Amino acid sequence: MKNMLDREIPDYIEGYGKVKPFNGVTANYGVKTRSSVKLISVKSGSNKLLSSIGEVLDRLEIKDGMTISFHHHLRNGDFILNNVMYEIAKRGIKDIRVAASSIFPIHEPLVEYMKNGVVTGIVTDYMSGPVAEAVSKGYLKTPAIMMTHGGRARAIESGDLHIDVAFIAAPTSDDYGNINGVSGSSACGSLGYAVSDAQYADKVVAVTDNLVSYPACPIEISQEYVDYVVKVDSIGNPAGIVSGTTKITKDPVGLKIAQMAAGVMDIAGYVKNGMSFQTGAGGTSLAVAAELEKMMKERNIVGSFASGGITGYISNMLDEGLFKNLFDVQCFDLKAVESYRENCRHQGMSGSMYGNLANKGAVVNKLDVMILGATEVDVNFNVNVTTSSSGIIMGGAGGHSDTAAGAKLSIVVTNLVKGRLPIVKDTVTTVTTPGESIDVVVTERGIAVNPKRKDLMEKLRESNLPITTIEELKNTAERIAGKGEKLKFSNNIVAVVEYRDGTVIDVVRKPLN
C-alpha cells in the first residue's frame, strides 16, 4: 500500500496494528471523542504521600505489559524516567511500553531494557541519542510510535494511547498533588506536555524534589488528577534541564537565511499589529526572531502572541511590549522560566491546547507565521525532521507538523547543503510533515514557494527576494553536493510515524549499513 504521499506502508504492521493511511492535512476533522476515565476517588483524611518510587510501584501493582508515561520538560536533565524504569526492571517486570513525550541522550539506560525485554514498546514525539540509535538498529521488539506533540495529546485524550500510570516529574508539589514547574531547584517552567497524561492516565504519580506545604502556588496540574506524591532527593540535573541561554546563530549563512525569511513574512503581509509568531530554539530560527524584532521596533508593531517552546529571546520580546502575550508549552532556558513565573502575560498552555487537532481549536490554529527547521525537504515540500540522511532516527515531529498545519504561513529555514549533503532532494528519507502544510522554503541560494500558495507567489515575485522553484533548489543542491548516496533499508519497520490525526504518514525501516 502507498499513502497519498506515495510512501510505501503495509496495511498492517506487526506490533503496531492496522494502518490508517495519511490522507491529507484536514482529512480528519469532525466528530471527536474525549475518552472516559476510571479513577478511585480520594476521601478526606487520606494520605497521598509515599516515601519512594518502590513504594509507589508496590501500591500501583505495576504489571507486565503496562504503558507508563513520562513528560520531557526536564529534557536531558531528567532523572525520573530512568529511576522509575530502574525500579520496574528490578522487580522483573517485562514488556513495558514507555510513552515519553520526548527521549534524550540521558535516557540511554532504556537501551539495555530494550535488549532484555523490560521495554518492548516506545511511544514518543521526539528522540535523539542512544535510544534513537538503538531503535533504528531494531533493538525494540515492536516499532516505536512517533507522534507529534498535538497528536500525543489527541491520542491520550481519545483513548488511542491508553496510559496505565503517568509519572509526572514535578519541580514543586504539595502532599496532595498540586504541581508547578516554576519553583524548586529543578524548575523547568511550563508543564504543558504533562497535562493530558494527568487528566487521562489510570493512575497519576507526582515525583518531586521540592515538597512544599499545602497548597502549592501556582498550580499547573491540580490535586484532582493525582493519586500519589513521592518525594525524592532530586528529579533532575539543572544543567541538563534548561540551557543557561539560547543564542542566535553567528554563522553568516544562517543570518542571511534569517533575513530572507523575515523578508518573506514582511512581503507576505504578516508583519503587522496583532500578528502571531512562533519559531524554534535553533540559532537560525532565533535569528528570524531577531530580524522580526527589528522590524517590529522600527514600525511600532505590537503582536498578539508568540507561542511554542519559549526561549529567553522571545520572553524579552514580551518584556519589550512587542507581543501582548506568550503561550508557553515548554521553557527552553532559565530566562524563559523566570518570565513564565513572574509575568502573568507569559501564559501556559497544555500540549492539547497547543496543537491537538481534535479539540475545539488549538493555539496553532491562531498562528500567523511559523518558522520551521528541516533535515531534508523534498520537491513536494515534504519535510523530514525524524531521520538523518543516513536513515537513523535523530529527532521527530515535536510540534513541527502541528504548527505547520495551523499557521497561515509556514516557512522552513535551512541551509541548502549541510555537511556536504544536499538538503533539498527528490524524496526525503522520512516524511515527518506533509508538504501540503509547508508554504515556503528559504535557503541561502533562494526561496521556493509552494505552488498551491499562488497568492504568496504573486506577492513574492514582485519583491527583490530571490524567488526560485523547489526543483531549482534541488538542482542547485545536487550540483554542489551531488545526489547523495541512495540509502538501502531492510524490510524491518523500526518506527511508525503518525501524523497529528493518528494516520500513518510514513514508516522508518532499519538501514542496511
Beta carbons within 10 angstroms of residue 44's beta carbon: 4
Candidate list 44, 300, 491, 513; residue touching its own copies; CB under 8 A:
44
Pick 42 or 290: Cβ nearer its own copies: 42
172 counts as binding its own copies under rule CB under 8 A: no
Q: Alpha-carbon torsion 183, 184, 185, 187, what sign?
A: negative
Report the nearest approach of its own copies to the CB of residue 409 (Å): 12
464 counts as binding its own copies under rule CB under 8 A: no
Pick 215 or 482: Cβ nearer its own copies: 215
Q: Nearest CA to 313 among 248, 252, 262, 370?
A: 248
Pick 89 or 204: Cβ nearer its own copies: 204
Candidate list 55, 64, 115, 217; residue touching its own copies; CB under 8 A:
217
- Mask for 77-96, x = binds its own copies (CB under 8 A): --------------------
Number of residues that bind its own copies (CB under 8 A): 63
Report the nearest approach of its own copies to the CB of residue 365 (Å): 4
Report the nearest approach of its own copies to the CB of residue 232 (Å): 21
Candidate list 137, 247, 256, 324; residue touching its own copies; CB under 8 A:
324
* Residue 98: CA count within 13 A, CB half-sphere: 37
Pick 36 or 300: Cβ nearer its own copies: 36
Segment near its own copies (CB under 8 A), from 11-19, 71-79, 345-353, 449-457? 345-353
Q: Nearest CA to 187 among 205, 162, 210?
A: 210
Strands of 165-170's sheet, edge to edge? 49-50, 228-231, 203-208, 165-170, 67-70, 96-100, 119-124, 144-146, 489-498, 504-511
Cβ-based neighbours of 185, under 8 Å, separated by 6 or more: 171, 209, 210, 234, 238
- Mask for 13-42, x = binds its own copies (CB under 8 A): -------------x--xxxxxxxxxxxxxx
- How far is 14 from 16, CA to CA, in rounded Å? 5
Report the nearest approach of its own copies to the CB of residue 368 (Å): 11
Pick 270 or 305: Cβ nearer its own copies: 305
Residues 391-420 that bind its own copies (CB under 8 A): 405-408
What's the DSSP call for residue 52? -
Question: In degrees rounded to 5, what are phi and psi of residue 391?
Answer: 90, 0
215 counts as binding its own copies under rule CB under 8 A: yes
User: What is the SS3 assignment for 254?
Assistant: helix
Q: Nearest CA to 167 among 240, 104, 229, 87?
A: 229
- How far is 465 from 455, CA to CA, in rounded Å? 16
Q: Specify burial of residue 359 (Cβ count, 10 A radius: 0-12, 13-18, 19+).
A: middle
Pick 358 or 423: Cβ nearer its own copies: 358
Beta-ladder partners of 69: 99, 166
User: What is the SS3 assignment for 301?
Assistant: coil
Report the nearest approach of its own copies to the CB of residue 436 (Å): 13
Candidate list 13, 49, 219, 301; residue touching its own copies; CB under 8 A:
219
Dihedral angle over CA of 318, 321, 323, 329, nearest 10:
20
- Supply 78's cell numbers: 531528567
Segment near its own copies (CB under 8 A), from 56-64, 67-75, 356-364, 443-451? 356-364
Segment near its own copies (CB under 8 A), from 95-103, 225-233, 423-431, 463-471? 225-233
Report the nearest approach of its own copies to the CB of residue 302 (Å): 10
353 counts as binding its own copies under rule CB under 8 A: yes
Chain mean position to CA 44: 39
Question: In degrees rounded to 5, what are phi and psi of residue 10?
Answer: -65, 155
Helices (H), 306-453: 312-319, 334-342, 351-355, 400-406
Residues 290-309 that bind its own copies (CB under 8 A): 304-305
Pick 82 or 365: Cβ nearer its own copies: 365
User: What is the SS3 assignment for 329?
Assistant: strand
223 counts as binding its own copies under rule CB under 8 A: yes
- How far is 192 from 331, CA to CA, in rounded Å? 10
Report the nearest approach of its own copies to the CB of residue 328 (Å): 12
- Supply 85's cell numbers: 524504569
Report the nearest approach of its own copies to the CB of residue 291 (Å): 24
356 counts as binding its own copies under rule CB under 8 A: yes
Candidate list 16, 176, 313, 332; residue touching its own copies; CB under 8 A:
176
Report the nearest approach of its own copies to the CB of residue 225 (Å): 6
Pick 195 or 260: Cβ nearer its own copies: 195
Report the nearest approach of its own copies to the CB of residue 252 (Å): 35
Pick 411 or 495: Cβ nearer its own copies: 411
Cα angle value 155/157/161 (rounded, 5°): 40
Which residues would be at the binding site for its own copies (CB under 8 A)? 26, 29-46, 48, 176-177, 204, 213-215, 217-219, 222-227, 274, 304-305, 324-325, 327, 344-345, 347, 349-350, 352-353, 356-366, 405-408
